[in-house]
Every structure is written in structure tokens, then in C-alpha cells.
Amino acid sequence: MDWTLELVVIPVSDVDRAKSFYTEKLGFNLDVDHKASDAFRVVQLTPPGSACSIAIGTGITDAAPGSYRGLHLIVPDIDAAHAELSGRDVAVSEPFHFGPEGQAPGPHPGRDNYGTFLTFNDPDGNSWLVQEVDRSK
């Protein structure tokens, strides 16, 4: 039996601000924006090429806005991802990897899959990690 992850709820304080960030700055697709009442609104967004979506909204989680760490996005080219995010005015780290001494600047020396990262935060401080995986290797 397959078990697929379809949706991750991300806690935010301002739904419209977060929606703009994820669609305009990150290029996520807007799937749904449903407001049943002032107490319940769900906005579903999907990263391009992803089978898993995120949801932001009102009345959908008790988690504190900005409390999520280490949400992962996978890209085939970390340098292109860095250029795209920087070009969209996202405050993004420089690429880095982990070596014998811990975190080190620059891509993994062998450009190994799963070895190079960059980070950014959404407007509430939820932390995202972008990881390079070239599935053509």
C-alpha cells in the first residue's frame, strides 16, 4: 500500500500576506482559497512540480505562527534556485554544505545529491530548507 503525503499545514499570522509571499515570491500555485467564515479560511498552495501542497489559513492549526523549522523543498540546481529566489527579493542564504567541521560555505565539493542547501524564512519566520537533488544523476 502506498502512503502519500499530500498536505502540510503551515502556521501564519496574516493569511493574505503569507498567500502573497508564497505565490508572488516563491511561485507556488494557488489551488484553493476558501473562506467559510471569519473563523475558518483555508488557502492551499503547491510548489511547481510538487505532489505535496501546503495550507495556510485561519482556524486550521493551533501551532504558533513562525514555529515551523526545516520544511524541505527539493531542486535539481541550487544555484538556479538561489538566483530565482534572490531575483524575487526573497532573503535567502548562500548555498552551504556540511563537512567534517559542520556547516561550510558553498556547494558540496562533489555536488553529491542531498549535499547542498540554502535557507529562507517566510514572513512569519517559518524556516525552509532548499536541498539540491539532481534526479538525472
Task: Write the pLDDT tens digit of every residue in 42-55.
Answer: 999 999 999 999 99
Q: Which residue is associated with the grid cell 554544505?
A: 97
> What domains, with CATH codes, occur in the chain?
7-58 (3.10.180.10), 71-132 (3.10.180.10)
Task: Write the pLDDT tens digit of every residue in 9-46.
Answer: 999 999 999 999 999 999 999 999 999 999 999 999 99
User: Which residues contact residue 74 at a Cβ distance below 8 angstroms, ignoring those fewer than 6 apart?
Assistant: 130, 131, 132, 133
pLDDT of residue 137 exceeding 70: no
Task: Write the pLDDT tens digit of every residue in 81-130.
Answer: 999 999 999 999 999 999 999 999 999 999 999 999 999 999 999 999 99
pTM for the whole thing?
0.94
Cα separation, 12 vs 18, in Å, equals 7
pLDDT interval class at 78 (50, 70, 90): very high
Q: For residue 17, give the 3-state DSSP assignment.
A: helix
Q: For residue 54, which phi and psi values (nearest 5 degrees)?
A: -115, 160
- Report pLDDT for 83: 98
- Report pLDDT for 109: 94
Q: For residue 87, which phi and psi values (nearest 5 degrees)?
A: -65, -20
